[in-house]
Amino acid sequence: MKTIIEPFRIKSVEPIRMTTRSEREAILKTARYNLFSVPADDVLIDLLTDSGTGAMSAEQWAGVMRGDESYAGSRSFERFQATVQELTGMPHVLPTHQGRAAEKILFALVGGPGKLIPNNTHFDTTRANIEYTGATASDCLIPEGKIPSVPYPFKGNMDVAALVDAIKAHGPENVPLCMLTVTNNSSGGQPVSMANIQAVKAALAPFGIPLYLDCCRFAENAYFIQQREPGYADRTVKSIAQEMFSYADGALMSAKKDGLANIGGFLSLRADTLVEQARQLLILTEGFPTYGGLAGRDLEAIAQGLTEVVEEDYLRYRIRSVAYLGEAISKAGVPIIQPPGGHAVYIDAGAMLAHLQPQTFPGQSLACELYLEAGVRSCEIGSVMFGKQGPDGRSSLAPMELVRLAIPRRVYTQSHIDYLAEAIIQVYDRRHELVGYRIVAQPQFLRHFTAAFEPMTGVSR
């Protein structure tokens, strides 16, 4: 049997509103060519993010009804805490309303001017929360991870030699902790191997620097280890995940990804050192320690989600459906980050639209065209997101011009994925017709969310 089916059937459906190309042209114009401004009802397939967009199971919804909303000592917290403790092996569990709230608490305690926090690749909110304290966030990704077209099984790995150099250059006393993001979202949803986690841990030991996992997509990472790393084929995903956590001193989680929930997160800690201070901040900014930033029903949904996400049938379907999309479009010639990641396929728009200068935002051009062609909402991850306008009005450029197609969990079926592949290939086949874009209005920070654009139709490029 070759077809890997969705390991679930559908009990509740959400209709998709169909639109025509001419309707979408008007919608996109009104949105000033920024897909963040398009109403979700006007999107056919929404691949903006895999965060908080997953479908919950019948058991999770049952848990929502069972949620204990007691302010202190709720039964739902007990279940949440026990689930996270069993998975991470860490005794201290602080619930937060999402991942960045856990980041905010941790870096308020250990950050500050002069400090350095290394990572394989920091996610934007992690970097922003570190920099907000005056500390420096540095990325130490292996060289293989920086070349989109080159396949490598663990492209998310940390460059251990670069990490040690960074620690020595900055002074180990100024490095309060080191992070590893599993899977590595900002480098294409690529996994980190167990050997690399062990090597990072060993490199940190002589300096006494603790290791923290940014574990939003820990189950997808563990599945890749089972499939790709020698010695793990016969292990359960859950036991692999537990081993990953066993090397860590702390973990930051956005439960909106592999928690299979629509909201939530946590900070978990092995040692007692930071716990009291972290709880104080939790109470100040999120809530009492037995609910943090969440309702009892959310804690139930996450506890159940963390149990379902390590099921092998689910992960086989999940990783296969992302790879299926990646393979279908790359077979037709579309350049993508190889191999496809765990939660997303990243199109190399810079390579696909080589006739467009990076200053004219090829990623934005492709994202807009995918919407016009098929109602698909993707996300530019290139010079719109990372570039900044200089005093001369010109934009600084990102190292890569990518478009991310992030796949929500358990939401779309194989025919949705087939439709997507057809649409992307159609756009690819007439890629030379795509025009560049210019920014006509932008805010000072995080411009991709609200900037307004204009297509450079009929203008020499």
Residue 265 found at the interface with ligand F0G (CB under 6 A): yes
Read off the amino acid at residue 244. Answer: M
CA dihedral of residues 46, 51, 52, 54 (deg, nearest 10): 60
Which of the ranges 83-91, 95-103, 104-112, 134-142 carries the binding residues for ligand F0G, by CB under 6 A?
95-103
Q: Which residue number, 51 or 360, has a Cβ lying nearer to ligand F0G?
A: 51
Q: Which of 71, 105, 103 is nearest to 294 (CA)?
A: 71
Quick check: 51 binds ligand F0G (CB under 6 A)?
Answer: yes
Crossing angle of helices 58-66/296-308, nearest 10°? Answer: 150
Residue with the shortest CB distance to ligand F0G: 99
C-alpha closest to that of 6 among 310, 318, 219, 217? 318
Size of the site for ligand F0G (CB under 6 A): 15
Coil, strand or helix: which one is 355?
coil
- By CB under 6 A, the residues from 19 to 48 that bind ligand F0G are none
Q: Is 123 in the site for ligand F0G (CB under 6 A)?
A: yes
Instruction: Enter the DSSP assignment of 63.
Output: H
CB of 253 to ligand F0G, least distance (A): 8
Phi/psi-derived region of residue 375, left when phi > 0, alpha when psi is between -120 and 50, beta in every other case = left
Q: In the complex, what is the shortest distance from the CB of residue 254 to ligand F0G, in angstroms, rounded to a whole number? A: 3
In angstroms, what is the minimal distance from the CB of 181 to ligand F0G? 5
Q: How far apart are CA 187 and CA 191, in angstroms?
A: 9
Minimum gap (Å) between residue 186 Cβ and ligand F0G:
7
Q: Nearest approach, Cβ of 97 to ligand F0G (angstroms)?
A: 8
**CB 47 within 8 Å of CB 341:** no
Residue of 34, 53, 81, 126 that binds ligand F0G (CB under 6 A): 126
Mask for 183-222, x = binds ligand F0G (CB under 6 A): --x----------------------------x-x------
CA-closest candidate to residue 344, choices 321, 377, 367, 361: 321
Find the shortest distance in angstroms from Cβ 221 to ligand F0G.
11
For residue 130, the Cα-to-chain-centroid distance in whole angstroms is 18
How many Å apart are CA 171 and CA 418, to the nearest integer? 52
Three-class SS state of 287? coil
CB of 156 or CB of 455, closer to ligand F0G: 156
Q: Mark residue 5 as left, alpha or beta (left: phi above 0; alpha: psi -120 to 50; beta: remaining).
A: beta
Among 100, 127, 377, 431, binds ligand F0G (CB under 6 A): 100
Q: Which stretch binds ligand F0G (CB under 6 A): 22-30, 121-129, 146-154, 436-444?
A: 121-129
Question: 405 or 423: whose CB is closer to ligand F0G?
Answer: 405
Contact residues: ligand F0G, CB under 6 A: 49, 51, 98-100, 123, 125-126, 181, 185, 214, 216, 254, 256, 265
